[in-house]
Structure 1
Amino acid sequence: MSRYSRLIGIDVGTKWVGLARTDLLRMVANPIGTYPPPEAIEKLKKLVETEQVEKLVIGWPLTPEGGEGRAIRMVERFITRLRLVLPEIEIAKMDERYTSKEAVAAMVESGVPKMKRRDSDRVNQAAAAIILQKYLDETGN
C-alpha cells in the first residue's frame, strides 16, 4: 500500500447506504453518494479496487444511552456481506449517535433547501461524511 490512502465512511440505513471518502492525505471526509445496500456493496468493491482504500469506517448505531439496540443487527448483517466481498479490508466501527441530526444541521447551515433536506439519501451521505470525519478527528488516522 502506498503511503497515501483513503478511508471510506459508511452510514447504513434501512433503505439507503450513504458513503463518504477521505482525500489521499486522510484529512477531510466528503460525501460521495447514497445507494441501495446491494449497490453500495458493489460500489465499495470498486472503490477498494481502484482508489487505494485502506479501511472502511462504518457507523455503529448505539442507543442514546450507549447500548446496542435493534439497528445493530442490520449493520452487523451489512458487515457480514462486506466481509464476504472484501475479506482483506479492515472495518472499524464508529459511534454514529446523532450524526443524522448533525447532517441535517450542516445542510441547513450550508443553505440546502428544506425539501432537499428531507431526502434520506442526502442525509445518509452527509451522515457518512460526519462519521468518517469524527473517526479522523478521534483517531488522528
Structure 2
Amino acid sequence: MGRIVALDYGKVRTGIAVTDELQLIASGLTTIQTKDLLSFLKSYVATEQVIQFVVGEPKQMNYTPSESEVLIKPFLEKLSMAFPEIPIARQDERFTSKMAFQSMLDSGLKKKQRKNKALVDEISATLILQAYLNRK
C-alpha cells in the first residue's frame, strides 16, 4: 500500500497531511507556500509511494461551492497534469479551520502558538484526511 496525501489548499499557504503506509492514521506533514506546492509534491512523490491525493472541498452551509473553489479548480488541473497516475478525491472541508483551532485549544497550546496560521492549515489538512479515511 502507499500513502494518501491530503491538501488544505489556500491562496497563500497549503497545509499537507499524509497517512501511514497502511492508511490507518492521518498525520500532519507540513505547511508550505502555495506557490511552491507542486515542486514540493514532486519531491515528496519521488521519495514516497503516494496512491491518492485528497483535496479539501470548501462548501457553503447550503452545500454550494464557496468562493475559494475558483482558486482550487485551476490547481486541480495542474495537479492532475503533474501526476496523471495518481487519482484525486475531494473531501468536504467545512468547519476544519474551527475544529483545528479548537484542537489547538484542547491540547493546551499557548496563545502565541495558536496564532500560527501555518499550524492551523496543517491541522486542517489532517482533519480533511481523517474525515476522508472515515468515509472510505
TM range (shorter): over 0.9
Does 1:69 find its partner at 2:66?
yes
Kept in 2, the 8 Å contact 1:34–1:40? The answer is no
Residue of structure 2 in register with 1:96 after alignment: 93
Alignment of 1:1-141 (within 5 A): 4-139=1-136
Residue 32 (structure 1) shift: 0.8
Residue 38 (structure 1) shift: 2.5
Structure 2: which 5+ residue stretches go unaligned?
none
**Equivalent residues, number:** 136
| Deviates further, 11-20 or 74-83 | 74-83
Runs of 4+ in 1 over 2 A off after TM superposition: none
Partner Cα distance (2:113, 2:78) in 1: 31
| TM-score (norm: length of structure 1) | 0.92
Partner Cα distance (2:16, 2:53) in 1: 10
| Deviates further, 42-51 or 10-19 | 42-51
| TM-score (norm: length of structure 2) | 0.95
Structure 1: which 5+ residue stretches go unaligned?
none
Query: What SS class does the counterpart of residue 83 from structure 1 fall into?
Result: helix
What letter matches 2:11 in structure 1? T
Partner Cα distance (1:41, 1:106) in 2: 28
RMSD over aligned Cα atoms: 1.0
Kept in 2, the 8 Å contact 1:8–1:56? The answer is yes
